[in-house]
Amino acid sequence: MWSQRRPSPASPVDSVAVWDGRPCTLADVTELRLHLREGLADAARRGDADDADIERLLLVFEELTSNGLRHGQAPVRVVVTTTDRGWLIDVSDAATDRPPTLAVGRDAAQGGLGLYLVARLSAAHGWMVQEDRKHVWARIDYASRSAPVPVAPLPRPRDEATGRSQFQ
pLDDT band at 92 (very low <50, low <70, confident <90, very high): very high
pLDDT of residue 98: 93
Domains of the chain, start order: 17-145 (3.30.565.10)
**pLDDT confidence tier of residue 9, bands split at 50, 70 and 90:** low
More confident residue, 45 or 22: 22
Q: Which of 4-8, 61-65, 155-159 has the lowest mean pLDDT?
A: 155-159
Taking each helix axis from N to C end, the angle separating 114-121 and 51-71, rounded to the nearest 10 degrees, works out to: 150
The model's pTM: 0.78
Is residue 125 scored above 50 in pLDDT? yes
**Mean of pLDDT values over 10-27:** 77
pLDDT score for 139: 94
pLDDT score of 50? 85
The answer, yes or no, to whether residue 161 has pLDDT greater than 80, is: no
pLDDT(133) > 90: yes
Average pLDDT for the chain? 81
- Average pLDDT for residues 92-114, to the nearest whole number? 84
pLDDT of residue 110 exceeding 90? no
13-17, 86-90, 149-153: range with lowest mean pLDDT: 149-153
3-state secondary structure of 120: helix
pLDDT digits (tens, 9 = 90+) for 49-90: 888 899 999 999 999 999 999 999 999 999 999 887 889 999
Work out whether the CA dihedral 33, 37, 40, 44 comes out positive or negative. positive
User: H or E element: which one contains 137?
Assistant: strand 133-141
